[in-house]
Amino acid sequence: MDELKKAYELLGLPEGAAKEDVEKRYFLLIRRERSSRQREGSEQPNDQTLSLEEINKAYKLILEHDEKKTLEQFNSAAYGKYKGMAGSAQKFDHFFSYYKFHVLGAIALVLIIIFGTKAYVDHRHKLAELAKLPPIDVSVSFYGEYFSQDGSYPVSDLKPLEAKFLSQFPDWQRVEAFFTYVPSELKSEQDSALIQKSMIDLMMNKADVYILDKLNFEKLAQNGSLLPLDGDNAAKLGENHKPEQDLKASTEDVPEQHVYGVDISGSPLVKELPVIGKEYIAGIRVNAKRPDNAFIFIDKYLEH
């Protein structure tokens, strides 16, 4: 403290002077010292004149003391409530300030690993459960403006629908069902989102048989998603098939009209399904995995 007192005296200031006063006095003495050295005709040095080194040393000592005092006041306000643990709290705070991005990055990495591991385990579990099931005999997708029996959409639980299909085809062991609600008109943002989702479903859920309303039949037929059902394929529709049930369309690649769907709306089997719609048009995906069973499915639904 004696050195601090001398530093104030050296600068000609009272002890504890404000920081602004210290800075003003420091710059004043610096200017005087430089003027003294540059003054012409002063060949004799003035013993009373302070050297630049003394001024800087005194100024630095006062600033260091002031910064230390300010830091102590801040720590007392910030960590005083921790009492005996104040030192540890301060160290932790400083550590987090310097390494917060590293810490947050590490936490994010741990969370990614945890959720990634869970997703992998769930995926493996799902694959194991699917491996226990019998192979799929046929997959059927309702694609259009269809509702569940209570008028809601989409149908989230497809097990009743799959069970009904199996009861209609007792020789089969497994039928996979998909359900994509496609609004006929865009009346809201939700409808727009459902349209976008339907496009994704069409790419992801590659069903063998599609049951469609007229609007979506025309879309899928025209973009080449459906298999032609005339020509050699007409006989595969069975003896119950009637020409008046055919729905024709042309595609960009094939401008001639061909049959791409058959109307099964009058089938008693349709009325047994827990699905409500205005039109039921059956078509087969152009690259269906199980085309033979797809034809068997449609043939059965053409029976009256």
Domain enclosing residue 173, as ranges: 135-301
141 and 56, same structural domain? Answer: no
For the chain, what percent of residues have pLDDT higher than 70?
Answer: 85
CATH number at residue 186: 3.40.190
222 and 283, same structural domain? Answer: yes
125 and 144, same structural domain? Answer: no
Q: How many structural domains compose the chain?
A: 3
Amino acid present at 184: S
Average pLDDT of the residues of the chain: 84
276 and 154, same structural domain? Answer: yes
Q: Write out pLDDT tens, residues 175-192.
A: 999 999 998 888 888 888
- Asked, for residue 153, whether it belongs to a domain, the answer is yes
Helix (H) and strand (E) counts for the chain?
A: 9, 8
110 and 55, same structural domain? Answer: no
Tokens of 145: 């403006």
Q: Is the peptide bond before 154 cis (omega within 30 degrees of 0)?
A: yes
223 and 144, same structural domain? Answer: yes
287 and 145, same structural domain? Answer: yes
pLDDT at 90: 55
Q: Write out pLDDT tens, residues 262-273.
A: 999 999 999 999
Q: Which residue carries 């039921």 as its tokens?
A: 280
DSSP string across 16-84: T--HHHHHHHHHHHHHHHHHHHH-TT--SPPTTSPPHHHHHHHHHHHHHHHHHHHHHHHHHHHHGGGGG
The pLDDT confidence band at residue 207, using thresholds 50, 70 and 90, is very high
Lowest-pLDDT range of 26-30, 89-93, 132-136, 149-153: 89-93
- Asked, for residue 15, whether it belongs to a domain, the answer is yes
pLDDT at 79: 55
Contact in structure between 26 and 59 (CB atoms under 8 Å): yes
